[in-house]
Amino acid sequence: YNDDGPCLLEASKYLSKEASREKFLIVLSDGLPSGRRSNAKDLVEAVDKILKKGDQKLIAIGLGRDTEHVTRFYPCSLPNIDVKKLPEVLGSLLEDIINFPEKYSVTTK
């Protein structure tokens, strides 16, 4: 089971305590959010809450085939990443984050 919304909020809470100028929360997902105590709506609300707060940037990586769902929940996302290519993808992503952090800023309503 994936209680994505509550887990995302908890991770965000810890990240918010860090004294960093740029804060990135990278989510790895291999399936749809379907938890025992939460659902997809909870994830949508969690993502919205974090992005509205504005001090953190979210990026989701969909691991494996059929992980397009990350594009529905996270404005910045990389779907269908082969697990064997994850080190290369993460390396490229981190380099991009360092060079262009503003690229990952998302404005919400």
Task: Give residue-wise pLDDT tens across range 61-100.
Answer: 999 999 999 999 999 999 999 999 999 999 999 999 999 9
Instruction: Give the Cα separation of 1 and 4 in Å (integer).
Output: 9
pLDDT of residue 36: 83
Q: Where do the DSSP E strands lie in 11-83?
A: 24-29, 57-63, 77-81
What pLDDT digit, counting tens, does each position of 20-62 carry?
Answer: 989 999 999 988 887 788 889 999 999 999 999 989 999 999 9
Q: What's the pTM?
A: 0.90
Provide the pLDDT confidence category of residue 108 given band limits of 50, 70 and 90: low
Residue 9 CB partners (closer than 8 Å, separation 6+): 46, 49, 50
Which pLDDT score is estimated for 109?
52
